[in-house]
Structure 1
Amino acid sequence: MRSIKSFFCLLFVISILSFSCKTEKKAPQKETLPSIEKSSTTTENLRHAQKFAIEKTGDITLITVFSPWPNAKKDFKYALIPREKAAAITLNRDEYDAIVLTPIERIVVTSTTHIPTLEMLGVENTLVGFPQTNYISSEKTRSLIDAGKVKDIGQNEQINIELLIDLQPELVIGFSINNSNPTYKTIQKANIPVVYNGDWTEKTPLGRAEWIHFFAPFFQKEAKATKIFTEIEKEYLEAKVLAQKATTKPTILAGIMYKDIWYLPAGESFQATYLKDANADYIWSETEGTGSLSLSIESVLDKAVDADVWIGPGRYKSYENLKEASRLYAEFEAFQNKKIFSTANTVGKTGGTIYYELAATRPDIVLKDIIKAIHPEILPNYQPFFFKPLH
């Protein structure tokens, strides 16, 4: 996927496990996975993420994804088995949406937001394919692409299945905005496990970042994921506390107009959470919903013409670009006072906006950027990475 776009963009394996036949009584050394209710299990304590859960039953790790897309009608259950224990375990394949041997040695992922997580876990070398590799900005992964180690497998909704099969991935991590997933169904028919990642459905920035714990068990990197996320969480919460020391609370306008409709974050969205945690007065903070609002330019002007700061004006990189797109933008005080901050000026080698790739895993950086924009006195020596002043 190209991560989700608007204020923040939206965007987007081979061996079925020969050991994973229906549960039968075979050799005496085989074990049948006991039902969860009857077995001794441990559940990983996720502090922020609400859309997945991890349980361990003996040597088996069970991951349940509750909502890989909005209004999903079923949970997706995945069983992960250590490669060296596979011969001693038999599972009923019908009880799981995928059964996967770990650690994964060859993987295909489908969203640029997956790339930083692989790199943080130190497993980027397991990546063998990606749809539209030109979207990837990370220098580390781009070097793998340039070396021919990561193949372009076509567009996300039209993946080249033959090429994907030739790459022999052990797992495809996919994403979808609804239950119409013909490409993934075709991949599964080729006996390649597909696992859905739903990090983008989380309601909070830290909830999204905590999905590093979803990736970690596939590579047996749970301890490393815990260490990484704990540090990110610490940095985020410390920045949040620091922001509360500000003596002012600037009013905030967000988003941009597209075809005469202004799109901006709803009051319960993760973007609005960033603004709240940065101690900002987001003008639409009281609205309901976790997605975006669609408003007329007249209503936005009426409420926000005198907003102190404008965050996230889409793809626009300069005040000149904004004015060329619509003279109405120049009527906002934030435009006149040069108080507009954008992610569009932080791009990778191939022109991709790095925010869309990296921000989900580094909410601590995003929050510090926003604090710097609206309370510069709080972080006087901080250099923003994503949100920078418009040119």
Structure 2
Amino acid sequence: MYKNYSFLLPVLMLLAASCGSGSSGDSHVDSTPLELKYASLLSIDRGDGWDRVTITNPWDTTTTLHTYILVPDTAEIPGDIPEGTVVRTPLKRAVVYSTIHTDLFRELGAEDIVKGVTDVPYITDSTVISRIRAGEITDCGMHTAPSIEKIIALAPDGVLVSPYENSGSYGKLGQLGIPLIECADYMEISPLARAEWVKFYGLLSGRFDEACRMFEAEESRYNALKEKASAATVRPRVLLDTMYGGVWYVPGKKSTTSQFISDAGGENPFDIYHDGGSISLSGEKVIHTAGDSPIWLIRYSQPTPLTIGQLKSDNDLYTAVDALRNGNVWGANSSEEDYFSVMPFHPSVYLDDLIKVIHPEMSDSVASPRFFHKLK
């Protein structure tokens, strides 16, 4: 069956880990805002010897999820810095929960800062796997139940975690005095908004200039593709994925997935739901709303390619989808090509794939889509 991706040491060590993570300072300090064109959940202010990074709470945008004060580790911590969690930069011993961010640090030329990871069974990057086998990176367990002992032993200067609604203080991990860096980029409502978070990760890793160049190039490519797709006279409805665990997760209007479909010249049948992220619906509700979609894109993971026959045998409901009856079902198998790691900070690559599927007549390239393949 295939599955969707809809994934104590001595007191002195604890004190050492906590030296850079205290909250201190004055909230009224002169600074200059860094221009961010797309990110809605991130703001960066540059002061004298520090950077303040403010992350808006995605689940209550009237509140702040976290404020970080980034201070170079070569300098004294100023006495008049703003309030927030102090992080010494660049990070040198980070624990990273998501492969998306380990891949990003490698691309920025900062792979050596990663000393611990979680969810090793899902890592596909050969460089990271080799470093784990060589003992250069520690397997810290699963992100849902990380090994606190292994994390403490690493004495990290930051742990990059994936926040969830009501995730609270992260249990024992939040009591160690180690800066917890909440990577809420996945909750942005547009592809370029998420991609712009590379500037934050560039500051953390000492690769800010490289991060800015990377984003500028990506922004240019993405907007050029979007402009081309905007000329489409027909915007076909696009159904996504399949049922999982008795429900069907579909993208709300304020989600990056819905924005991707729109930017590729398609229509998300579930834009009627003005939500961010995914909405869980019954199979019957999805078929009633989107069964007439002429295009069906399925993101999945399994050792062998998904087939039309497998879809039909898995659930009779699927036979009511127009795209299946017309042979226009496309699958992206993440076990073969890890688009989840590419898409966040290189959205143009994913957008190019979508345009090739939704509007093949508009593609400049004769090459097949990189991620999606028509099901047989």
**1:334 maps to amino acid:** A
**Structure 1 residue corresponding to 2:52, chosen from 49, 56, 62:** 62
- Decide whether the 8 Å contact of 2:55 with 2:67 is kept in 1: yes
Q: What residue is the counterpart of 2:354 in the other structure? A: 370
**2:286 maps to amino acid:** V
SS, match of residue 287 in structure 1: coil
Distance 1:293 1:20, change over 3 A: closer
Q: What residue is the counterpart of 1:246 in the other structure? A: 232
1:168 correspondence with 2:155? yes
Distance 1:118 1:295, change over 3 A: same
Matches within 5 A, 1:1-150: 9=6, 11=7, 15-16=16-17, 18=19, 35=26, 37-39=28-30, 41-67=31-57, 69-71=58-60, 73-86=63-76, 89-90=78-79, 95-96=83-84, 98-150=85-137
The Cα shift of 1:38 comes to 4.5
**Structure 2 residue corresponding to 1:206, chosen from 174, 192, 195:** 192
1:262 correspondence with 2:248? yes
Where relative contact order (Cα < 8 A, 6+ residues apart) is larger, the structure is: 1
Deviates more, 1:52-61 or 1:154-163: 154-163
SS, match of residue 312 in structure 1: strand
Separation in structure 2 between the aligned mates of residue 255 and residue 291 of structure 1, nearest angstrom: 14
String of CA shifts for 1:181-212, please: whole Å, max 9, x gaps. Answer: 45x44234333221111111111111111111
Matches within 5 A, 1:173-184: 173-181=160-168, 184=170
The Cα shift of 1:300 comes to 3.1
- Decide whether the 8 Å contact of 2:229 with 2:355 is kept in 1: yes
Separation in structure 2 between the aligned mates of residue 376 and residue 253 of structure 1, nearest angstrom: 17
Matches within 5 A, 1:338-349: 338-344=327-333, 346-347=334-335
* Identity in percent: 27
**Structure 2 residue corresponding to 1:329, chosen from 300, 305, 318:** 318
Distance 1:172 1:339, change over 3 A: same
- Decide whether the 8 Å contact of 2:238 with 2:293 is kept in 1: yes
Deviates more, 1:51-60 or 1:184-193: 184-193
SS, match of residue 293 in structure 1: strand
String of CA shifts for 1:256-291, please: whole Å, max 9, x gaps. Answer: 223543321122322111111111133233432123
**Structure 2 residue corresponding to 1:304, chosen from 273, 287, 290:** 290
- Decide whether the 8 Å contact of 2:93 with 2:158 is kept in 1: yes
Structure 2 gap segments, 5+ residues each:
8-12
Please report the TM-score for the alignment, with normalisation by the length of structure 2.
0.87
Distance 1:145 1:195, change over 3 A: same
Separation in structure 1 between the aligned mates of residue 22 and residue 193 of structure 2, nearest angstrom: 35
Distance 1:308 1:55, change over 3 A: same
Distance 1:309 1:22, change over 3 A: closer
The Cα shift of 1:373 comes to 0.6
Q: What residue is the counterpart of 1:387 in the other structure? A: 372
Separation in structure 2 between the aligned mates of residue 275 and residue 21 of structure 1, nearest angstrom: 43
- Decide whether the 8 Å contact of 2:17 with 2:155 is kept in 1: no
- Decide whether the 8 Å contact of 1:170 with 1:192 is kept in 2: yes
**1:211 maps to amino acid:** W
RMSD of equivalent CA atoms: 2.7
How many residues are matched?
A: 363
The Cα shift of 1:232 comes to 0.9
Q: What residue is the counterpart of 1:193 in the other structure? A: 179
The Cα shift of 1:17 comes to 5.6
Deviates more, 1:249-258 or 1:366-375: 249-258
Structure 1 gap segments, 5+ residues each:
1-5, 24-32
- Decide whether the 8 Å contact of 2:17 with 2:156 is kept in 1: no
Distance 1:264 1:221, change over 3 A: same
**Structure 2 residue corresponding to 1:354, chosen from 331, 338, 362:** 338
